Structure 1
Amino acid sequence: MIEWLDQNDTQFIELADAIWRTPEVAWHEFTSSKLQAVLLEEHGFRIRWDVGGISTAFVAEWGEGRPIIGVLGEYDALAGLSQKLQTEQEPLVEGAPGHGCGHNLLGTGGVATAVAVRRWLETSGTRGTIRYYGCPAEEQLSGKTFMAREGAFDDLDAALNFHPDKLNCPSKGSAVGVYDLVFRFRGRTAHAGGSPHLGRSALDAVELMNVGANYLREHVTEKVRIHYVITDGGRLPNVVPETADVWYFVRAHERSELDSVAERLKKVADGAALMTETTCTCTFRGACSNVLSNVVLADAQYANMEELGPIEFTSDELEYAARVNSAFPEEDARTMFTAMRVPAEWRDRVSGVCGRPLIGENFPAWDEEQISTGSTDVGDVSWITPLSMLRTACFATASPGHSWAIVATAGMSIGHKGMMHAAKTMAATAYDLYTKPDLLAAARAEHARATEGHPYSCPIPDEIPAPRVANPVRGVQ
């Protein structure tokens, strides 16, 4: 499989670049999902669309029987991050989306893995099933959750996943869950200059709620995060706003704490409505669970990564990354590993590389029992089946997450090399899972112990529908 991927990487690089050139935001990944599905169909995969009730979600499957191994992919971009392939910030299209999290690489790396495994299953005569999951809207942290609610992952024996990053290593850590909530306040409009006493400002209520939420931060545990953005604050300053909306993400590691903080936040909203004589409604839009890592699979991923060796970057790539890094304070690259909570015993090993523009070396996981305050809907899959998360070097070391600098390397050879390193690692790990029953049994036993007494429960209530957007590429309504 490794040799085949080395000899056939062009089709996957072209796919990743095509998705990079057509960035689409969450729930609207019409072209991106179709591009992936077409390539997989050309390689003999059976395609099933509308998974979880989402028009841009699909499953591609080849083979029959067990083991059933899943590979997770994504393809959504981020609003406002359009960027040219250059080392200075300049959008391709002002205000347009861009792949500021590298999901053009993430999804295509998964496609490459699935295709390589499918070819090996056929040529070797090995019994088993390989699936690729085309998952939308990871940036809104609910795509896989809606798919999980439908049961899309229930029969998997194990799942593999990677995310583009600044270095190569598997993960044994966790990430927090999240609730997606929108608060809408309704008041009474009036002339802001002539008769302000007749108005009841919905915007005032939003602002007071946000003040209350900021005070609430002081009285939650250190792993809780509360973020918001005002999505509707009125239209004209001389009109008292009748309606105003604020969009919140609440993050916490335990489901019970998520529920508790969300309820406290709703009380803050009720208080803001009371103070302003407005009304408030809260809409629950989505959620994802915390991540449950699998040490057995992480160790298998690292062993295969080490077998591959480091990523070899050229002098031109190193120079390109150095110019990207020059747009940011030098300390940003040097503090990268501090931000990633590298334990003291690892700092000597990483201190020699953390100032470089690119890092091609492989590292074992150092984050066992650590909890990241970021979130991903991969968490929901991890509660259903054993799952391994992998990171590979696709970006310059000083690149902030969700920034133009990520886009600037996600569409060129630096990102391509990291993507193919991930594809080869995951393909080799899938091979192990098909051919070493004891490895798969150990991964599943670890997962069974971790979930004993608290099996997966979807955090999105059944009555909340998945966003359904008309798909002009497929004609889905």
Structure 2
Amino acid sequence: MKMNTKIDVADWLTANQDQFIQMADEIWDYSEIRWQEFKSSKLQADYMEEAGFDITWDIGGITTGFVAEWKNGDGSGPKIGFLGEYDALPGLSQKNQPSPDPIELNGHGHGCGHNLLGTGALAATVAVKQWLGETGTPGTVRYYGCPAEEGGGGKVFMAREGVFDDLDAAFNFHPGNFNMAKKGSAIGVNHAFFRFHGQAAHAGGSPHLGRSALDAVELMNVGVNYLREHVKDNVRLHYQITHGGGAPNVVPDFAEVFYYIRAHLPEEVDELTERVLKVAKGAAMMTETEMEMIIDSATSCVLSNHTLSDLQHEVMQKLGPIEFTQEEMAYAEKINSQNPPGARSFLQNRIKITAEEAAQPLLGQVREANDIGEVMTGSTDVGDISWITPLSMLITTCWPTNVPAHTWGVVATGRTGIGHKGMMYAAQVMAGASVELFKDPARLQTVRNEFEAQIAKRPYKNPLPDDCHPPHNPHPLR
């Protein structure tokens, strides 16, 4: 079959979906967490190499990061990239069933659907490669195997190496519980460890000789909690005490707290980080301890390209809704019934639908973007890529309506027909939109014009400090 239209690309993906579903299920089985996605990355890289792509490993100094590239002809023509992920979440192990039950206690699970995300992006890449080859269209297509989105900011390390710089546009999607080519944003974040060093002493016999690092951590947290009243509404501050000492009868000479410092624009993240740092310094002064701040990772806010979003919405309208079976609806409702109703009302407000619509087990309909100007208070390393090349956030239905992300219900649908359909639908949308950019240089230029106007106001600066590096975990399968 010669593929000349975006629907042909969709048909090719449907005809070849079994191999991609198998890949997504294998990655679901692996459930490897950030920086340790050895089996998942090798599985995808091997597949792409067999499909004719050139593979480059160790992108950004990350052993589980790679780029797969295929050029038609001499490499002239547009360069389009697809962003994949494959890391799971700790503590979310879950059997493939509609009731909560871990496979392994405290094990890992794909609670954000990255087994679907990465495989859907890979499938779109291969479909576009097939189309380029069959139609003789000049161009380059790349798949980016991006590790450690969950708290690691893998793409930001990759971006620092410049691997996205020459792209004309990039596509990505995220599993969710509705279908929409979004136009909103997401906030940036600094991941910062605050380490306090004091003086150990016997807590009962000579406490006056001690200087408690844990006291400093607790005072810092109190100060930050008072700070919350004096920040913007979309600011988020979260912390976890990662080290508080070993025994109650020892004044702890070391303590550590880990902060997520979130705000919208890059300069707002920097300003907020400075304010938190001042609180930490004050806590150190009060306790006569020494303090150091270490930035572990950072991401920028999402810069959504509305022209690209409109193009993906056009493709979605041509494809129509996702059709779910009665069995899939029943499976979804079983999961919905075991969660408190808050997720449904959150979904209703988020995408502006009626209570009756939100009461459906699954939403297969195509939604028009209605989030212009809205800022989601989560963060993603996709944001940094959106400052380097045009990008928009595509969401497709992969789990039920009353299921929040990062919960067992997401894992329980990630290896079912529900998740598979959402994944393949996303692949069809991304591939179809990409084909339109290859076919229509004027449309691609319109996408680029919007992007250039955006970054002219605020050029991109990678948020990572120069001394911030990913962990080096040797890849045992390469």
Residue 62 (structure 1) shift: 0.6
Residue 141 (structure 1) shift: 4.9
Equivalent in 399, 406, 410 of residue 406 of structure 1: 410
Residue 30 of structure 2 corresponds to 22
CA distance in 2, matches of 1:217, 1:421: 41
Q: Is the 8 A contact 2:34 2:152 kept in 1?
A: no
1:260 aligns with 2:271: yes
Q: Is the 8 A contact 2:69 2:143 kept in 1?
A: yes
Residue 275 (structure 1) shift: 1.6
Matches within 5 A, 1:35-434: 35-63=43-71, 64-338=75-349, 340=350, 342=351, 346-347=352-353, 350-434=354-438
Residue 4 of structure 2 corresponds to none
Q: Secondary structure at 2:259's aligned position in 1?
A: strand
Q: Secondary structure at 1:129's aligned position in 2?
A: strand
Q: Secondary structure at 2:251's aligned position in 1?
A: coil
Deviations 1:198-249 (A, max 9, x none): 2222111111111111111111111211111111112222222221111111
CA distance in 2, matches of 1:321, 1:239: 51
Give aligned-pair identity as a percent.
Answer: 55
CA distance in 2, matches of 1:287, 1:59: 22
Q: Secondary structure at 2:124's aligned position in 1?
A: helix
Deviations 1:16-65 (A, max 9, x none): 11111111111111111111111111111110011111111110001122
Q: Is the 8 A contact 1:141 1:376 kept in 2?
A: no
Q: Is the 8 A contact 1:170 1:302 kept in 2?
A: yes
Residue 6 of structure 2 corresponds to none
- How much is the aligned-residue C-alpha RMSD, in angstroms? 1.3
> TM-score by structure 1 length?
0.96
Q: Is the 8 A contact 1:56 1:136 kept in 2?
A: yes
Q: Which amino acid aligns with 1:51?
A: I
Moved more, 4-13 or 237-246: 237-246
> TM-score by structure 2 length?
0.95
Residue 11 of structure 2 corresponds to 3
CA distance in 1, matches of 2:470, 2:180: 33
CA distance in 1, matches of 2:247, 2:405: 34
1:465 aligns with 2:458: no
Q: Which amino acid aligns with 2:27?
A: I
Q: Which amino acid aligns with 2:130?
A: R
CA distance in 1, matches of 2:341, 2:282: 45
Number of positions where the alignment pairs a residue of Structure 1 with one of Structure 2? 467
**Gapped regions of structure 1 (runs ≥ 5):** none
CA distance in 2, matches of 1:195, 1:16: 59
Matches within 5 A, 1:437-476: 437-474=441-478
Q: Which amino acid aligns with 1:210?
A: N
Residue 125 (structure 1) shift: 1.0
CA distance in 1, matches of 2:22, 2:430: 20
Moved more, 198-207 or 280-289: 198-207
Equivalent in 436, 441, 444 of residue 440 of structure 2: 436
CA distance in 2, matches of 1:385, 1:190: 55
Q: Which amino acid aligns with 1:15?
A: M
Deviations 1:45-100 (A, max 9, x none): 11001111111111000112220000001111111111111122111111111111
Q: Is the 8 A contact 2:41 2:145 kept in 1?
A: yes
